[in-house]
Structure formats: C-alpha cells, structure tokens
Structure 1
C-alpha cells in the first residue's frame, strides 16, 4: 500500500512538472542569454590576457609540483 501511495505521489508531481504550472521553472531564453553573455565575457578577458593567464597557471603548477 505504501508503494502505491509513493507511486501516485511521484506521478502527480511529474504531471504538475510537465504541465508547466511550476513558477520555479524559470525563463529559458533568459538563461540562454546569461550563458552566451558569460561566454562572451570569458573570451573578452581571455583573448588579451591569454599569455599572462597561461604563465600564471604554469608558475602556480610548477610551484606546487616542485615544492616551492
């Protein structure tokens, strides 16, 4: 009996989710815009400072692997 109740509760939750009545569902175009803008910011920072970033990461890895 408990398994049937659990199944029915899960089924009800899934049907509400699929109907789209969930106010927490979010705005997909908004999230796409945020993702694209974040990628653009990363590229805008990475392109002019690429050599400095690579050098800093290499120095940090060298100091960790060689012990100081």
Structure 2
C-alpha cells in the first residue's frame, strides 16, 4: 500500500484488506459446490425426472 511505503500509520481497514487477499469468499465455494451437486444429480436422475414430468403433464392434459 502507498501508506505503508511512505511510512504513514496503517488503518484497520488496510490490515483487513491485506489479510483477506487471496482468500476465496465462502459464498463462491457454496455456489460452486451447489452447482456441482445439481449437475451430478441431474446426470443420474435426469431421465427419471423427465419421465415423472411427462407423466404428470399427460395426466393433467388428459
């Protein structure tokens, strides 16, 4: 930081920014894991879910 280079006192915000540098936020990891789970489930359960949907639509439409 420029403040550190010129010898100015550091603020708590500067220290927080430096300590979080390079960390992946938790919401990013949760989003990626959820997308992976949905993809894996869809791969195995996709045909069964499609069949259930088609059966439900045909029973409603007559």
Per the normalisation by structure 1, the TM-score is 0.50
> Is residue 38 of structure 1 aligned with residue 41 of structure 2?
no
Partner of 1:51: 47
* RMSD across aligned positions (CA): 1.6
Which structure 1 residue ranges, 5 or more long, are not aligned?
A: 1-27
Number of aligned positions between the proteins: 39
Partner of 1:29: 25
Which structure 2 residue ranges, 5 or more long, are not aligned?
A: 1-23
| Displacement after TM superposition at 1:46 (Å) | 0.7
Q: Which has the larger radius of gyration?
A: 2
> Is residue 62 of structure 1 aligned with residue 58 of structure 2?
yes
